[in-house]
Amino acid sequence: MAGSGLFDWRGSWTLSLLLAYLCYLLLGAAIFQLLEKQAEAQSRNQFQMEKLRFLENYTCLDQYALERFVQVIMEAWEKGVNPTGNSTNPSNWDFSNSFFFAGMVVTTIGYGNLSPSTEAGQIFCIFYALFGIPLNVVFLNHLGTGLRSHLATMDTWGHQPRHNQVVQTLGLALFLTVGTFLLLILPPMVFSHVEGWSYGEGFYFAFITLSTIGFGDYVVGTDPDKHYISVYRSLAAVWIILGLAWLALVLPLGPMILHQLMYLWPLNKDPNHRPSPHSTPTKSTIATPSPDKP
């Protein structure tokens, strides 16, 4: 019967988690609809007005010709060709950009603004991802495991001398501070300066990228009016890999920090919660002689 009770408990917990998950999705959908639907309608109306104005100014074109031209532009954009500028724009498939694309494949970010268009490239991308994604996962998990073994002494933090506690706490704080600055605070500044974005847009790009969401609305090194250094996107790919590795190192710290907070929780003051080895045994723990023995 104990197993049945355990099954019922797990089933109720799974159902509760499922309901919470669905409610979270529904809440997000409602908020996104509230925030974005009106702006989308305004953009659509503005685009239609611009098309009508264009046809009025250029009477030699008809509606069909304009629609066909818009379709060509959209197809070019889907293949990674920026329709602005001219044909002298840098190639999307030079080595630096190809290295950036390879990083986006194995990290499963996939911005969606660039993809292989040849059949051979698509087939190679499938096999490259089949082997590259597990390799990336193993690499990041290995780094996380290394940190957990390095910080294994955190489990006995409460039983260590005061000096060791202070040193470990300062080291952990320094690690989190430096990593946050180098991988989350400084890169948006660089991207904002190079790309002409606001800092908020740069931070948004950094978060969406390192969380592997990768909408593709902001991508570095794609403005045809800017002259980037040849290794700019390669450096961005290195930053992404280092950022994901840092996150793999940081995420295991969550349970450790929660454990320390629980240890320091003010309500945890029950003297029987952590019995001292020199404490006097309670009445229930004192052995009493058996009545049938002398």
* 272-282 residue pLDDT tens: 544 444 444 44
CA atoms of 171 and 173, how far apart (whole Å): 5
pLDDT at 198: 95
Mean pLDDT across the chain: 79
pLDDT at 151: 59
pLDDT digits (tens, 9 = 90+) for 7-46: 566 667 778 878 988 998 999 889 989 989 988 889 888 8
> Which residue, among 134, 33, 96, has the nearest Cα to 222 in the 3D structure?
96
* Cβ contacts of 217 within 8 Å, gap of 6 or more: none
Both tokens of residue 144? 């996380």
> Please, how many CA atoms are within 13 Å of residue 55, restricted to the half-sphere of its CB?
13
pLDDT at 149: 63
Domains of the chain (ranges plus CATH)? 88-263 (1.10.287.70)
pLDDT at 284: 38
Please give the residue that has the higher pLDDT: either 187 or 269: 187
Q: Could you give the residue ranges of the DSSP H alpha helices within the chain? A: 2-57, 63-78, 95-106, 119-150, 162-180, 186-195, 199-210, 232-250, 253-263
Q: How far is CA 253 from the centre of its chain?
A: 16
Provide mean pLDDT across the span 64-75.
83
| Contact between 96 and 230 (Cβ < 8 Å) | yes
Whole-number percent of the chain with pLDDT over 90: 29
CA atoms of 247 and 140, how far apart (whole Å): 9
Provide mean pLDDT across the span 84-110.
83
CA distances from 98 to 91, 120, 164, 217, 245 (A): 10, 15, 47, 19, 21
* Cβ contacts of 208 within 8 Å, gap of 6 or more: 214, 215, 218
pLDDT over 50 (residue 119): yes
> Please, how many CA atoms are within 13 Å of residue 152, restricted to the half-sphere of its CB?
4
Please give the residue that has the higher pLDDT: either 235 or 72: 235
* Cβ contacts of 258 within 8 Å, gap of 6 or more: none
293 Rama class: left (phi>0) / alpha (psi -120 to 50) / beta: beta
Provide mean pLDDT across the span 202-210.
94
CA atoms of 70 and 14, how far apart (whole Å): 49
Both tokens of residue 115? 């993809």
Angle (CA) 136 137 140, round 5°: 85
| Contact between 215 and 208 (Cβ < 8 Å) | yes
pLDDT at 267: 46
pLDDT at 261: 60
CA atoms of 133 and 224, how far apart (whole Å): 31
Single pTM value for the model? 0.71
Please give the residue that has the higher pLDDT: either 279 or 215: 215
pLDDT over 90 (residue 220): yes
Residue with tokens 């159902």: 15
